[in-house]
Structure 1
Amino acid sequence: MIDLRSDTVTKPSTGMLEYMLKAELGDDVFGEDPTVTKLEEQIAGMAGMEAAVFSPTGTQSNLLGIMSHCQRGDEYIVGQTAHTYMFEGGGAAILGSIQPQPLDFDLDGTLDLDKVYMAIKPDDFHFARTKLLCLENTTTGRVLPLDYLKKIPAFCKENKLASHLDGARVFNAVSKLGVNLETITQHFDSVSVCLSKGLGAPLGSILCGSKELIKEARKWRKMLGGGMRQAGIVAAAGIYALEHNIERLREDHDNAELLAKGLGEIDAIQIIAINTNILLIKVNKNYPELREELFKNGVIFPKTANKAGIIRLVTHLDVSTDDILKTTNLIKAFYHKQ
């Protein structure tokens, strides 16, 4: 099947599975799994940070970061449609008693720092304590500009804020900008990096930060049920992904552009945005029937559009250029018959 719903649907490659089978294992809760340790040291080094902790999911990794920066009654400033606010079950508020203060993203995926400044609460017992600025890179495929990122450390220092980056697709930003990971992450106090999206591992995310922050995060990880035993078998997939699947992200970006070009030639489809490996479209005619026809021919699209009528398509390592051309031709043939 050609599955364009998300880059989370990727399956481990043969090479990745073979690498996993050969992983040296130990008990990670005791700090004795050498493969987990290798992965944590590897990604921390790439991010230019002191330490890292492996967790099973990006949701947990982000929650570890927020809860390690903040205490009960604190507040974090975040994008209105950011994953940490909108798509993680309200964990920071429910489990951490940490209040989110959402702001609208600008068109480029940034949060206007003047608006962030205005949202910071006064030092007064009437208010939650504003402690953390949380950004996302990429956000709906948009890459945060480096000039913007360079402003973050001074802004946060001046306003006594810590900073966290939800870097679920940060390697897509790395690929798009042609830089290394540290060029982006050096501007933050912590970063969560997902291994199971464009990098193709079956699961896992890494939180990177200072030794002190990661020590705190390990305590929260255990409390949240994220303490794993012989986790090296899945950490090995992350190591393989870092060593084999970063450079090829450019192919996903190219395929998203190719898909946008092909669908843009169809009157019934409107291209809303194309950024890195994420394409947003509107289908103005017979979408349920189109989706059913595609499914019969081995292509999976999202079941429905969102409330704004937008459908998100995502390219990834299990979708080839030939798959994109097949998908485009199927859609053209469907509307030609209408």
Structure 2
Amino acid sequence: MLDLRSDTVTRPTPQMRQAMAEAEVGDDVFGEDPTVLRLEQETAALLGKEAALYVASGHMANQVALNVAVGSGEEVWAHQGAHVLTDEQGATAFLARALPRAYDADEGYPPQDLLERWAEGIDDVHRARPALVCLENTFSGRVIPLAEQRRVASFAHAHGMRLHLDGARLWNAAVELGVPPAEVAAESDTVSVCFSKGLGAPVGSAVAADAETINRARRVRKLLGGGMRQAGIIAAGALHALREHRDRLADDHRRATHLAERISGIPGLEASAHTNMVWVTAPEGRAADYADAFAAHGVRCIPFDRETIRIVLHLEITDSDTEDAITRITKAAAQV
């Protein structure tokens, strides 16, 4: 079975397991775990920030960042498909106590005219105060151009708002753009990154920002029950992934492009690749039928909506596996 549902399904490599088994540990709640400290320091340096905080998940990373940026009842602006709105069980409203304001845009980021409209009457005492703009890079695998990030960040800062970048797959964006990760994170006040998606660690994400913000974030992590003791065991897996698995993301992108090209040659299907994701368009309303057929032929993927299937390449998938997937998908599609 080829599992292409997500890049979170990977298992630790033997080298990663060894690093975890040999990890030097301490009590991280007391700030005494040396492996966690190294992970946080290296993550902050890569992202061009003063400090970073290791947390259990991307969900927690985003909610920690929102909690330090937004007061009760203040607005958070985000794409209607953003992870902070659609995949965190309403935590932006429940935990961060924020008022989400969602926009729609094919590109994944807000156009200038929308920002200007939403900022009208920003000081009106009748409305919630806008406090934060959230961007996501990559967004459904699509890379947001850095010029657009800078534009949105500049607008946010000019209007007294902060910018949070959900960079769960920021590492993919940096590889695709051919720039250092710090350049992708440069305009953000807070940025979250994931170690368990493209990088293949078993657990963990991080929030990075200036030192004062991370001091506050550490208290929010504890408030959310996220204090961990001898966390160096899992942090070692993340640290190994950070050091060893970033450059190889280009292989996932290359394989995704090849897979999309071959799927587009199958009658009835169209596909496009964005970084390590392939988006397959099926005949109207039949995405689930095709996904079930693919699974029956040994390729697991996710029907994203009624017409779209998501396929994700990751570090366990080789060139040979990619060719195998093409063969299996071709046979499956012929039987739908």
* TM over 0.5, shorter chain: yes
Aligned to 1:176: 176
Q: Give 3-state SS (helix, strand or coil) of 1:203's partner.
A: coil
Q: Which amino acid aligns with 1:306?
A: D
Residue pair 2:58, 2:192 contacting (<8 A) in 1 also: yes
Distance 1:292 1:94 in 2: 35
Report if the CA contact (8 A) 2:276-2:312 is conserved.
yes
Paired position in structure 2 for 1:334: 332
User: Does the CA contact (< 8 Å) of 1:270 and 1:284 recur in 2?
Assistant: no
1:81 Cα deviation from its structure 2 partner = 0.6
Q: CA deviation at 1:290?
A: 5.1
**Structure-1 separation of matches of 2:219 and 2:334:** 59
Corresponding residue number in structure 2 for 1:85: 85
Aligned equivalents of 1:132, 1:296: Cα separation in 2: 44
Give the deviation of 1:245 after TM superposition: 0.5
What TM-score, normalized by structure 1, do the two folds share? 0.94
Correspondence list, 1:53-202, <5 A: 53-105=53-105, 107-120=106-119, 122-202=122-202
2-side partners of 1:336 and 1:72: how far apart?
54
Distance 1:79 1:258 in 2: 29
How far apart, CA to CA, are the structure 2 residues paired with 1:230 and 1:38?
Answer: 14
Where 2:65 maps in the other structure, the secondary structure is helix
CA spacing shift, 1:297–1:228, aligned 2, 3 Å: same
Q: Which residue of 2 aligns with 1:219?
A: 219
Question: Which residue is 2:234 aligned to?
Answer: 234
Q: 1:330 to 1:70 in 2, by over 3 A?
A: same
1:332 Cα offset (Å)? 2.1
Kindly tell me: are residues 3 and 75 of structure 1, through their superposed partners in 2, closer, same or farther at Cα, counting changes over 3 Å? Answer: same
Q: Unpaired runs of 5+ in structure 1?
A: none
> 1:291 deviation in Å?
4.4
Give the total of aligned pairs: 334
Local SS of the residue matching 1:258: helix
For residues 175 and 288 of structure 2, the distance between their equivalents in structure 1, rounded to whole angstroms, comes to 35
User: CA offset at residue 162 of structure 1?
Assistant: 0.7
Deviation of 1:113 after TM superposition, in Å, equals 2.9
Aligned residues with identical type, % of pairs: 38
Q: Give the whole-Å Cα distance in 1 for the aligned partners of 2:332 and 2:231.
A: 46
Deviations 1:276-296 (A, max 9, x none): 111111233976665455445
Residues 293-332 of structure 1: CA deviation (Å, up to 9, x unaligned): 5445532122x4514x211111111111111111111222
Which residue is equivalent to 2:277? 278
Partners of 1:101 and 1:119 within 8 A in 2: no
Cα shift at 1:154: 2.7
Judging changes above 3 Å, is the alpha-carbon distance between structure 1 residues 9 and 151 closer, same or farther for their aligned structure 2 residues? same
Query: Which position in structure 1 is the counterpart of 2:38?
Result: 38
Amino acid in the other structure paired with 2:239? I
On the 8 A contact 2:291/2:309 being kept in 1, the answer is: no
Unmatched segments (≥5 aa) in structure 2: none
**What is the root-mean-square deviation in Å for CA atoms of aligned residues?**
1.8
**Closer, same or farther in 2 for the Cα pair 1:141/1:291, shift >3 Å?**
closer
Per-residue Cα deviation, 1:125-177 (whole angstroms, up to 9, x for no partner): 31111011110000011111122223244322211111110000001000000
Per-residue CA deviations over 1:245-282 (Å, capped at 9, x if unaligned) read: 000000100111111111111102122x3211111112
- What is the CA–CA distance in structure 2 between the aligned matches of 1:329 and 1:168, rounded to whole Å? 31
Matching residue of 2:323: 325
Where 2:95 maps in the other structure, the secondary structure is: helix
C-alpha spacing 1:337/1:191, structure 2 compared with 1 (3 Å): closer
Q: Secondary structure at the match of 1:5?
A: coil
1:234 aligned counterpart, secondary structure:
helix
8 Å Cα contact 2:253/2:276 also seen in 1? yes
**C-alpha distance in 1, partners of 2:152/2:304?**
34
Q: Is the 8 A contact 1:195 1:238 kept in 2?
A: yes
Question: Would the alpha carbon gap of residues 290 and 184 (structure 1) be closer, same or farther in structure 2, given more than 3 Å must change?
Answer: closer
Look up the SS of the partner of 2:67 in the other structure.
helix
Q: Secondary structure at the match of 1:188?
A: coil
